[in-house]
């Protein structure tokens, strides 16, 4: 029995059917563009754009730097969909709603999810403007039972107890490092652990020290729920964080951070991020094309 505040497979199906009726070909790849990183969507060929407010059952994005649009098109010969803006728990959405698009992508036939985000550095060797390929994540809300998989499990999406081993695809991570080296940007690229916190406030000094001791290299307010649902749905995942600031870990040293500075760094590094994602999309091979489930 579902309340209107529960995830319903039928709602995901209705949204997928609505989109399939309006696009030329189902996407194989979904790309989520984080804060200030939406320019990637503008590189798609033959784009078809929908405002989130047009799409049945879709939430609305309320954060500056998130346009709130779904863009379908072709990138490097691959059928793709880009989310220009994501949804966050701090906007007031339950986690099943934050991750609603991922389940819709599953029904559209998406096989690979690429996530990008803006993150603060907890690692002393990371500088603002660097990129971090996500090797793994620490999902702080998830450790406190705030999971997008909480509640009744629908086997049509995935198993009750999914494994998160190799969630961030090893082959894609290796290829991304090779791409960065090929274009002469290896010194700006790292591989590390992303930690998700709830936000919207930035971390206190004590919290930053705690997260660093846990093994986190960068921290942000998104990504982990989307990735957990993508893994649950059987998708491959690649994640990339743009380091926009250093997170203060000493009371004697002030590290200023605000959302506008995050967006500014995003603008400065958008071309590099775009180059890596574009080349990575070109390298992806799909063994066979399956029709979407919806």
Q: Which residues pair with 281 in a beta bridge?
A: none
How far apart CA 67 and CA 37 sit, in angstroms, is 10
Alpha-carbon distances, residue 152 vs 9, 88, 140, 160 (angstroms):
11, 22, 22, 9
33 CA to centre of own chain: 7
How far apart CA 27 and CA 114 sit, in angstroms, is 13
Alpha-carbon distances, residue 189 vs 132, 133, 177 (angstroms):
6, 7, 7
Catalytic residues, which ones?
A: 35, 66, 88, 90-91, 118, 221-222, 245, 259
Residue 285's closest CA among 183, 191, 177, 175? 175
How far apart CA 81 and CA 84 sit, in angstroms, is 10
Q: What phi, psi does 46 have (nearest 5°)?
A: 50, 55
CA angle (118 as vertex; 101, 192 as ends), nearest 5: 100
């Amino acid at each position: 029995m579902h309340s209107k505040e529960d995830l319903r497979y039928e709602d995901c199906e209705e949204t997928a059917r609505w989109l399939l009726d309006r696009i030329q070909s189902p996407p194989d790849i979904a790309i989520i563009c984080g804060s200030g990183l939406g320019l990637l969507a503008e590189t798609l060929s033959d784009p078809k754009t929908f405002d989130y407010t047009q799409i049945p059952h879709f939430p609305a994005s309320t954060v500056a730097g998130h346009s709130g649009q779904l863009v379908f098109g072709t990138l490097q010969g691959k059928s793709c969909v880009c989310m220009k803006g994501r949804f966050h728990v701090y906007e007031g959405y339950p986690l099943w709603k934050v991750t609603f698009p991922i389940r819709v992508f599953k029904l559209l036939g998406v096989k690979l999810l690429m996530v990008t985000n803006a993150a603060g550095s907890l690692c002393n060797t990371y500088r603002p403007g660097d990129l971090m390929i996500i090797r793994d994540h620490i999902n702080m809300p998830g450790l406190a039972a705030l999971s997008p998989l909480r509640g009744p499990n629908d086997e049509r999406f995935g198993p009750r107890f999914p494994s998160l081993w190799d969630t961030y695809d090893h082959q894609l991570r290796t290829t991304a490092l090779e791409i960065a080296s090929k274009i002469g940007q290896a010194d700006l690229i790292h591989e590390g652990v992303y930690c998700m916190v709830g936000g919207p406030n930035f971390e206190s000094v004590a919290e930053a020290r705690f997260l660093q001791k846990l093994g986190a290299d960068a921290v942000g307010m998104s990504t982990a729920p989307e990735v957990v649902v993508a893994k649950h749905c059987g998708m491959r995942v690649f994640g990339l964080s743009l380091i926009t600031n250093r997170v203060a870990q000493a009371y004697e040293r002030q590290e200023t951070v605000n959302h506008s500075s995050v967006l500014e760094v995003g603008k400065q590094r958008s071309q590099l991020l775009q180059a890596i994602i574009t080349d990575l999309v070109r390298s992806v091979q799909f063994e066979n094309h399956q029709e979407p489930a919806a």
